[in-house]
Homo-oligomer: A and B are copies of this chain.
């Protein structure tokens, strides 16, 4: 896959300002929010912020999926739901609706709204090239704010001097 927008160039020099890079690798509703919330908080503090979406994290920026991320209690003992019950048909949809409502009750924006906020606040969204190739996705399949599809090497350059978290 090739990028459809000009390939960005990066400045290796660190200017002393604080920088945060978040690698978002999970595609479930509960694991999408931590990265988005940290990014939002960092931007509010004037920190240069980059999000790099890879593997399952692509769900967060795919136009087709970003408004419909799912939560399952299966495999998560912290949810206090027995695995067999959690695996029954309809349970994932129910658990997702409940979590979505809890989030809305706190007046936390939806995932696409969070992405819009992050971009409006000057945050940078990047998509992983290898993941795009695996899933046969193009830049136009992704949230409009994604600046480019880049490789791990380019990410290493972007993240020079940054606090870097793998979510």
Contacts and interface: CB of A to CB of B under 8 A. Distances in A.
Q: Count this chain's copies in the assembly.
A: 3
Given A34-B55, A89-B82, A160 B18 contact: yes
A160 B163 CA distance: 9
A123 interface: no
A153 B45 contact: yes
Interface in A57-78: 59, 69-72, 74-78
A134 B103 contact: yes
A56 B78 contact: yes
Given A134-B102, A165-B23, A77 B28 contact: yes
23 contacts: A25-B31, A28-B77, A30-B56, A33-B55, A34-B55, A38-B152, A38-B155, A41-B151, A41-B153, A41-B156, A45-B156, A47-B156, A56-B76, A56-B78, A74-B74, A74-B87, A75-B76, A82-B92, A87-B87, A102-B134, A159-B163, A162-B163, A165-B165
